[in-house]
């Protein structure tokens, strides 16, 4: 009888002990999880403070007119805007060649909808004789255009185009720009960056949709709930150009008239949303389409340095930046009036979008070699 009693007492003690340990372990786990959350929030807040302070300081030092920044990580998101005291506040910027990423997404969408095959010849979508002077056009595919492997010359490197830009008489129509394309191809099948490739994609989109290319582009992104458009906004945006630290010219009145090659306008926040939907949520394109876009081609010898990092590879309208061991995907752009950078690191869910309404050697160096490294170093 006494033995049975002792056994029952031990059993009861054992159960109580297990419960006590379970409660203690649960409490400990909750404390650790809560501590991790507090640490992550503190770390993110510190990153945000350092980045904002650095961007403001660099912008002031270099006399930058305006900066728009949007950053998102797994811990949070923040935006920052800087305006020179003598410059009107603005949140919308031209994004230059970052438009090419958006045009490539649009083409991938049409491919998913079976409206095109990226391996088909572009000539099947050319309904006029405007490009008959280009040798080898019959053999060029849509994929080669997306990847800058067509060998077609860059109309924006034509001396006549440069003269017209200087006089603020940039060609407006697609056919005016096509006339500036040289007839001979250079190293088809190899990477050679050319704005003309995306100019021709405008004709492809018009062929398959029946709408003007900018209308089709704008409609697609507006239906995604994104305020991204090709076409100059009607709100008197300012822009500045400086070759040296002591010279800054107001180029606000200059019209650049880009299309798929560099004509989109938006805010940093909207572009951040797009990159999140595309690379993190994967709600715009299928994984197969995204993987195809990342079929990399070496850009050498046309690599682009970003501080200690470098953009070394190009896919289907997308660039690959290696920065201190991290791999980011996205695109950058620059025009006479604007600079933009929109990249995502899918591994750690970090997105960085930086825009400015300034260009020229002085501003470009500050943007790519000072501002961007200051942001990337903290993330």
Average pLDDT over residues 261-281: 98
- Please report which residue ranges of 76-158 form alpha helices under DSSP H: 99-112, 142-146
CA nearest to 198, candidates 260, 105, 150: 260
Q: Read off the pLDDT of residues 105-129 as tens digits, 9 standing for 90 and up.
A: 999 999 999 999 999 999 999 988 8
Q: Read off the pLDDT of residues 253-266 as tens digits, 9 standing for 90 and up.
A: 998 899 999 999 99
* Helix 213-223 × helix 195-209 angle, to 10°: 80
Q: Read off the pLDDT of residues 196-226 as tens digits, 9 standing for 90 and up.
A: 999 999 999 999 999 999 999 999 999 999 9
DSSP 3-state assignment of 84?
A: coil
* Domains in the chain, CATH or no CATH each: 48-376 (3.40.710.10)
For residue 324, the number of C-alpha atoms closer than 13 Å in the C-beta half-sphere is 10
pLDDT of the residue at 165: 86
Q: Read off the pLDDT of residues 131-172 as tens digits, 9 standing for 90 and up.
A: 999 999 999 999 999 999 999 999 999 999 889 988 899 999
286 alpha carbon, distance to own chain's centre:
18
């Amino acid at each position: 009888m006494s033995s049975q009693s002792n056994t029952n007492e031990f059993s009861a003690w054992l159960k109580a002990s297990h419960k006590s340990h379970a409660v203690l372990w649960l409490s400990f786990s909750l404390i650790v999880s809560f501590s991790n959350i507090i640490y992550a929030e503190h770390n993110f807040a510190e990153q945000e403070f350092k980045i904002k302070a650095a961007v403001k300081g660099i912008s002031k030092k270099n006399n930058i007119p305006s900066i728009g920044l949007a950053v998102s990580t797994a811990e949070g998101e923040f935006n920052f805007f800087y305006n020179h005291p003598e410059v009107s506040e603005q949140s919308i910027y031209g994004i230059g060649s970052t438009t090419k990423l958006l045009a490539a997404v649009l083409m991938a969408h049409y491919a998913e909808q079976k409206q095109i095959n990226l391996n088909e010849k572009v000539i099947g979508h050319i309904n006029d004789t405007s490009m008959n002077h280009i040798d080898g056009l019959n053999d060029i595919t849509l994929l080669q255009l997306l990847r800058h492997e067509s060998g077609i010359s860059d109309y924006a490197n034509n001396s006549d185009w440069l003269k017209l830009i200087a006089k603020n008489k940039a060609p407006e129509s697609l056919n005016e720009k096509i006339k500036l394309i040289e007839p001979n191809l250079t190293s088809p099948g190899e990477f050679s960056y050319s704005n003309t490739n995306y100019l021709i994609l405008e004709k492809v989109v018009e062929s398959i949709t029946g709408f003007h290319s900018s209308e089709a582009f704008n409609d697609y992104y507006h239906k995604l709930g994104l305020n991204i458009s090709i076409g100059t906004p009607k709100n008197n945006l300012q822009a500045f150009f400086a070759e040296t630290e002591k010279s800054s010219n107001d180029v606000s009145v200059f019209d650049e008239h880009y299309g798929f090659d560099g004509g989109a306008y938006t805010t940093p926040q909207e572009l951040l949303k797009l990159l999140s939907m595309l690379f993190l949520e994967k709600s715009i394109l299928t994984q197969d389409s995204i993987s195809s876009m990342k079929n990399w081609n070496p850009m050498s010898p046309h690599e682009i340095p970003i501080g200690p990092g470098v953009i070394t590879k190009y896919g289907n309208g997308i660039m690959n930046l290696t920065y201190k061991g991290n791999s980011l995907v996205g695109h950058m752009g620059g025009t006479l009036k604007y600079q933009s950078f929109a990249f995502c690191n899918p591994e750690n869910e970090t997105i960085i979008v930086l825009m400015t309404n300034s260009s020229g050697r002085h501003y470009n160096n500050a943007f790519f070699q000072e501002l961007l490294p200051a942001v990337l170093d903290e993330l």
